[in-house]
Structure 1
Amino acid sequence: MKKSSIVIAGGGSTFTPGIVMMLLDHADRFPLRQIKFYDNDAARQEKIAKACEILLKERAPEIAFSYTTDPKEAFTDVDFVMAHIRVGKYAMREKDEKIPMKHGVFGQETCGPGGIAYGMRSIGGVIEILDYMEKYSPNAWMLNYSNPAAIVAEATRRLRPNSKIINICDMPVGIEDRMAEILGLPNGRKDMCVRYYGLNHFGWWCDIRDKDGNDLMPRIKEHVAKYGYIVNPESHHDEASWNDTYGKAKDVYAVDPDTLPNTYLKYYLFPDYVFNHDNQHPDHTRANEVMENREKNVFAAAKEIVEKGTAVDCKFKSDDHASYIVDLAEAIAFNKKARMLLIVENDGAISNFDPTAMVEIPCIVGSNGYEKICIGKIPQFQKGLMEEQVSVEKLVVEAWITGSYQKLWQALTLSKTVPSASVAKAILDDLIEANKDYWPELK
């Protein structure tokens, strides 16, 4: 069985140990000969890498492991680049969330002004990694799940249209896991065949069936109408902010009961609610929660492994959502013809929508890449929302490419989350100041 060589771009990420654990869990179907880490922050990466080195030596000594900040070393002799970078790290995410709140607009990492700010930082980093791959391993595939995926995908379409990059997001997968739990399906979401359309973090399920073709939508809708995507209303296992998001899906669903919504639509359909009720305090946002919990816990677990010299009973946990990236890599490596949601150029798949839009739809994945599944026409409500949002994304990328202040102001003004052009301008001016080390200069 063919063994693959991968590089994880974003080796110092708090998600990296979970990805390594998940790769080991699925080594029988996606065997590896080599794992490399690449990051431009040597000190941060080393803390994670030294722990993962011990883990791999103990659990999979046959897999070669290395970590580096040198692009040539990292990207030579690889079959897959798994990219999940965060330009500016959590310190900049905190600013993305807090600056809009000063102007009466919610702060969120991938939606609204925060997502636009993050997108302007991410474009250059993702293009840089793609160029390294093409220079040192031209036959490799880049599997990108760096956020904000919609803006990054549009940038790669514009700037590197012929590159072997596939943009994905695991958020729909996470919601499908909940749907499968609601239904009590024995093999989870893999027992479902879905039709879904939209933009990244901005989509709808229009058909869900089991392997025999039976319609599962009515049962899921009945649950969502009462509880949203909270599986068991009696016991809340999620963090408060996530619990609110899953519960609010009930109100998002009510706006269009013909479909089932992605949870992120709450930010666009109920921005006033989010600003007032989303468990966010102007001085303590989701970024602070992450830094105090995930960030602290993962680095503490890594330190403990290094100090003990063993990963036995370590606190690293397999990242189940990330199993989606193994599904994708396996489908390409072994020509599995697997059905998966990808972010791809529309080009007629949604017949009444912009052909150049990067849409999230089901595709069949094999060794030559993907084939899109035709969705056909979508309803006016979804089409209208998507036209507005895709224009925001295209204007952001245009602003990055041309260095245009005007285009970025237009992007913020057009966002459904921002109430007026004057508020958009005030937020933009603050974001420019905060991002001067990361964004191209705007004129």
Structure 2
Amino acid sequence: MSLKEQSILVAGGGSTFTPGIVLMLLENLDKFPIRQLKFYDNDKERQQQIADATEVILKERAPHIKFVATTDPEEAFSDIDFVMAHIRVGKYAMREKDEKIPLKYGVIGQETCGPGGIAYGMRSIGGVLELIDYMEQYSPEAWMLNYSNPAAIVAEATRKLRPNSKIINICDMPVGIENRMKDVLGLESRKDMTVKYYGLNHFGWWTDIRDRDGKDLMPELKEWVSKNGYITPDELNGAAEEEVEPSWFYTFGKAKEVQWLDPDTLPNTYLKYYFYPQDEVEHSDPEHTRANEVMEHREKNTFTECNRIANIQTAEDAKLEADEHATYIVDLARAIAYNSKERMLLIVPNKGAIVNFDEDAMVEVPCIVGSQGAEPLTQGEIPRFQKGLMEQQVAVEKLVVEAWTEGSYQKLWQALFLSKTMPNARVAKQILDDLIEVNKEYWPELT
């Protein structure tokens, strides 16, 4: 039986991640056939550079796919089956401010955690809601697969403000960590593992990992992570095929100190920002943050390569690669399109998945995915340690969405103060006032 060909819209067509998504889609045409691919972005010039290279790639590898790049919502969102959304409102220039303003006050500046994540969330909510509204207006049967950051705040906003929308919020970070786990274990694929996991986005723990035969892999992994974090054997031995950026190498190594807090589980790497915020400040350069690294390397390299491909009109020797998160999003789209019942970690309303936790919280847990969306798998009760941490963080996320909805300065101040990265309420207010000043173009007015 032939599979129905899909029409895909990449919302955020000018993203540096878009070429990786295109390449992964092309590598999976036998499992996920495509009749039409569209790009949508509000920055025409930035998107055009990615689009020009994509046009060359499609002509060489899949000339049957109709390709459109547009800034017009009606043209973009009409006749589509899936919206793959990864927008960055304010681009990397605003991410740089998210990271550097908190560091002025001795507080970690990070894209999705603490005050930087809150600032980014306040920008992202409106942008993602706009995409949902366009989709429902022009292609009401379509699904949105959203991995726009900060995923936790965006997911809470969509739950509260668009509760009936066909949207699934996802994150690729667990995929990246599981790829490291399989390297530690010597497995061929992360899909050789079945995992149990619970938490919030960028705030979770693996509790059980088994191979296809049901063998418990946790003892070996826990021993490795307690000594090495998520640094792989090849990286330790200097035999890795690709060199990891210094900031990520430090992050993967730091995971061992996070794991010490609960040796019975394996942590998401982002927990380091909440468990050791002072260490992260000390390790940061307030003049040169992760945003600068991305602009100087990934962003520069991606656009340079796309322009080169467009100029020579061939992608035969292209240096672009499919991204890890692109693999994940193709698996998710395929599961919905063809009801394949894939097991995946997704961000969903709790509704009993974690028995002793807030029903309305957006939690990250394993789900079975089919044509009706995600069905969460119950993870049972969680320990007091994780429950306490998660309740505090959920309160932050809910307060941010309430602040955006109500235009409430007070609630956003409360959200900032409640983050475990924040030393006191006075510093939270100082950071908030600075963030308001630079986000006037993007945030609702707060009173």
Deviation at 1:376, TM superposition (A): 1.0
Q: Does the 8 Å contact 1:79/1:140 carry over to 2?
A: yes
Selected match of 1:317 from 321, 325, 341: 321
| Rounded Cα–Cα distance in structure 1 between residues aligned with 2:55 and 2:259 | 45
Aligned partner of residue 315 in structure 2, secondary structure: coil
Q: Does the 8 Å contact 1:18/1:316 carry over to 2?
A: yes
CA deviation map 1:329-383 (0-9, x unaligned): 0101110011100100001111111000000000000011111100110000000
Identity %: 71
Correspondence 1:301-316 to 2 at 5 A: 301-316=305-320
Deviation at 1:321, TM superposition (A): 2.8
| Rounded Cα–Cα distance in structure 1 between residues aligned with 2:46 and 2:25 | 21
TM-score by length of 1: 0.99
| Rounded Cα–Cα distance in structure 1 between residues aligned with 2:33 and 2:414 | 47
CA deviation map 1:113-132 (0-9, x unaligned): 00000000000000000000
CA deviation map 1:185-225 (0-9, x unaligned): 12x11000000000000000001111111110001011101
Selected match of 1:87 from 86, 89, 100: 89
Q: Does the 8 Å contact 2:178/2:190 carry over to 1?
A: yes
Correspondence 1:67-106 to 2 at 5 A: 67-106=69-108
CA deviation map 1:379-408 (0-9, x unaligned): 000000000000000000000000000000
**Structure 2: runs of 5 or more not aligned:** none
Letter in 1 for 2:25: L
Q: Does the 8 Å contact 1:22/1:320 carry over to 2?
A: no
Which residue of structure 2 aligns with residue 359 of structure 1? 363
| Rounded Cα–Cα distance in structure 1 between residues aligned with 2:81 and 2:326 | 18
Which residue of structure 2 aligns with residue 234 of structure 1? 237
Question: Is structure 2 residue 423 aligned with structure 1 residue 400?
Answer: no
Aligned partner of residue 164 in structure 2, secondary structure: coil
Letter in 1 for 2:264: D
Superposed CA RMSD in Å reads 0.7
Correspondence 1:20-169 to 2 at 5 A: 20-169=22-171
Which residue of structure 1 aligns with residue 256 of structure 2? 250
Deviation at 1:272, TM superposition (A): 0.7
Deviation at 1:320, TM superposition (A): 2.8
| Rounded Cα–Cα distance in structure 2 between residues aligned with 1:100 and 1:323 | 34
| Rounded Cα–Cα distance in structure 2 between residues aligned with 1:240 and 1:50 | 32
Correspondence 1:137-286 to 2 at 5 A: 137-186=139-188, 188-232=189-233, 233-235=236-238, 237-277=243-283, 280-286=284-290
CA deviation map 1:135-185 (0-9, x unaligned): 000000000000000000000000000000000000001000000110011
CA deviation map 1:71-103 (0-9, x unaligned): 000000000000000000000000000000001
**Structure 1: runs of 5 or more not aligned:** none
Aligned residue pairs total 440
| Rounded Cα–Cα distance in structure 1 between residues aligned with 2:203 and 2:260 | 16
Q: Does the 8 Å contact 2:197/2:205 carry over to 1?
A: yes
Deviation at 1:314, TM superposition (A): 1.4
Deviation at 1:251, TM superposition (A): 0.4
Moved over 3 A (4+): none
TM-score by length of 2: 0.98
